[in-house]
């Protein structure tokens, strides 16, 4: 299994060199995954005799590989939705976009100034706070 993972990582690294071609990256990654699935399929069906427990595990893995292959094929068959043209933008849409952009800038500047690196901001004291995310049980060891 390690060989297939390294093989997939090499393909993923090649696609990350040019991040502007996202559609091409998905196709290359899915082709790499398909190649890995073929290798895993060959490994699963050409194994020496194994104990019954290991054979059941291998059959379960083979069914998971089939599910992954179906997901890849359906991903390749999806169609791209065309983007709306820039002529359709009206003044009200542009106003909403600038308003939301300014709201996000305001929120980010407040987070950056008062509670950068914390989970929450205390509104009255304007200080950061990081409560335990999983409750008190995560603190007990």
Q: Which helix (H) or strand (E) holds 121?
A: strand 120-122
Closest to 3 in 3D by CA, of 29, 47, 30, 36 = 36
pLDDT tens-digit profile of 56-111? 545 555 555 565 556 555 555 666 777 767 666 778 888 899 999 999 999 888 88
pLDDT tens-digit profile of 14-66? 444 444 444 444 444 455 555 555 555 544 444 444 444 444 545 555 555 56
Domains in the chain, CATH or no CATH each: 2-77 (1.20.58), 89-138 (no CATH)
Which single residue is written with the structure tokens 């190649």? Answer: 35
């Amino acid at each position: 299994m390690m060989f297939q993972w390294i093989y997939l990582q090499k393909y993923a690294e090649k696609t990350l060199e040019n991040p502007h071609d996202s559609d091409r990256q998905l196709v290359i990654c899915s082709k790499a995954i398909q190649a890995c699935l073929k290798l895993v399929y060959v490994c699963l069906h050409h194994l020496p005799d194994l104990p019954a427990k290991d054979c059941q595990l291998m059959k379960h893995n083979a069914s998971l590989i089939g599910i992954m292959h179906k997901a890849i094929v359906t991903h390749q068959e999806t169609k791209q939705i065309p983007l709306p043209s820039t002529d359709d933008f009206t003044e009200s849409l542009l106003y909403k976009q600038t308003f939301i952009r300014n709201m996000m800038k305001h929120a980010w500047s407040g987070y950056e100034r008062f509670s950068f690196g914390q989970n929450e901001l205390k509104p009255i004291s304007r200080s950061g706070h990081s409560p335990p995310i999983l409750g008190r049980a995560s603190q007990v060891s």
